[in-house]
Structure 1
Amino acid sequence: MARPRSFDTDDALEKAMHVFWAHGYEGASLPDLLEGMGLTRGSLYKAFTDKKTLFLKVLERYEGQAVKAGVAMLTDPSVPNGAERVMAMFQGSYQRVIDGDSRGCLLCTAAAGPSTYDDEIAHAVSAGLGALRDGIYEALGASPRHATLSPAERAALADMLIAQYVGLRTMARARIDHDTLKNIVRSVGVMLA
């Protein structure tokens, strides 16, 4: 008879998420994961099979937390002007850097790393960023200036804004100077004005 797990899977995934967020997929070594999660090698492999499977579960968790919160903000009807919602997302990302969080976005980090060579990770990243992009599209539909755009024009603007978001979050992780990051946020404001 198999022994029951002596750890909380949700807690282990939360801890793994922070290890991957800090080190990236490639940079998170097995010792980093074991120490960060408080697991033995056998427990990690028994529960999660391998590093890639663990990372996919972490991305799913991140999407359920960070992406879901971002989409909720972008689609929040209590802020009537959708352009203000989009600006709030960019300003919030910039403020996190000012407050000392230079981890960027886990999805953006994965987009620049393992999704370039792994189809399953690329699919997970695409789904998460696609949900944010769809939230931006919906927000633009609630913007007096942008609601009159054709669906194709609004889609193109949403695509450009998600690209700006990925750039901002990736540059934040690369520790680009704050003035440059602030200018990215300003440029979004110009596009939305």
Structure 2
Amino acid sequence: MARPREFDTDDAIRNAMGVFWEKGYQDASLPDLLEGMGLTRGSLYKAFKDKKTLFLLVLEHYEDAAVGAAQARLSDPEIPDGRERILGLFEASAAVALEGDHRGCLLCTAAAGFEMSDPEIAAAVQQGLEGIRAGLETALRASPVHHALDDAARRALANVILTHYIGLRVLARSHLPLGAVETSVQGVARLLEAQAA
């Protein structure tokens, strides 16, 4: 008879997420994961098969939590102007970095990494980023100056804003004193104003 697992799978995935978030997929070694998750090698392989499978589960968990939170912010009916929702997302992301959390966004970091050469990982990352883009499109539909855009124009603008978002979250990991994090909100505000003109 098989022995029951002596750990909570969701806790293990959250702990693995912390390791991948800090080190990235490529640099997160098996010893790093075992230590961070508090598991033995046998337990990790029995529960999760391999590092890639574990990372895909981590991305799924991150998408449910972080992308879900971003979508909720971008569709918040308590903030009627969609531009304010978008700026709120950038303000929150910049504030986290300026307060010393330099982990950035797990999806954005993965999107800039070598792991994107793996089709399954690339598809998972794309799905998460498309979720954020969909949220941006929702916010633009609620913007008094952007709601009249046709679908193609709205999607194009959402793509440009998503590019800014990815750049902000990746730069947050760099610790570079470029001032980009500090000025990101104003830059997106100017972009939205220019598109409205």
Which TM-score tier does this pair reach, normalised by the shorter chain?
Answer: over 0.9
User: Aligned residue for 1:119?
Assistant: 119
Cα offset, 1:114, TM superposition:
3.9
Question: Cα RMSD (Å) of the superposition?
Answer: 1.0
Runs of 5+ consecutive residues of structure 2 not aligned to the other structure:
none
Cα offset, 1:115, TM superposition:
4.0
Write the distance in 1 (CA, Å) between the matches of 2:138 and 2:147: 9
Q: Give, as a single letter, the amino acid of the residue that structure 2 aligns with 1:41.
A: R
Matched, 1:170 2:190: no
User: Aligned residue for 1:36?
Assistant: 36
The 1:102–1:178 alpha-carbon spacing in structure 2 relative to 1, beyond 3 Å, is: farther
User: Aligned residue for 1:53?
Assistant: 53
Cα offset, 1:74, TM superposition:
0.3
Q: Give, as a single letter, the amino acid of the residue that structure 1 aligns with 2:19.
A: V
Q: Give, as a single letter, the amino acid of the residue that structure 2 aligns with 1:142.
A: A
Write the distance in 1 (CA, Å) between the matches of 2:44 and 2:178: 38
Q: How does 1:62-141 map to 2 (within 5 A)?
A: 62-141=62-141
User: Aligned residue for 1:15?
Assistant: 15
Write the distance in 1 (CA, Å) between the matches of 2:174 and 2:157: 25
Cα offset, 1:2, TM superposition:
1.1
Question: Could you tell me the TM-score, scaled by structure 1's length?
Answer: 0.97
Cα offset, 1:180, TM superposition:
2.0
Q: Once superposed, which parts of structure 1, at least 4 consecutive aligned residues long, lie more than 6 Å away?
A: none
Write the distance in 2 (CA, Å) between the matches of 1:112 and 1:101: 19
Cα offset, 1:179, TM superposition:
1.9
Write the distance in 2 (CA, Å) between the matches of 1:98 and 1:132: 22
Write the distance in 2 (CA, Å) between the matches of 1:134 and 1:180: 25
Write the distance in 2 (CA, Å) between the matches of 1:181 and 1:135: 21
Write the distance in 2 (CA, Å) between the matches of 1:106 and 1:25: 10
Question: Could you tell me the TM-score, scaled by structure 2's length?
Answer: 0.95
The number of aligned residues is: 193
Cα offset, 1:178, TM superposition:
6.1
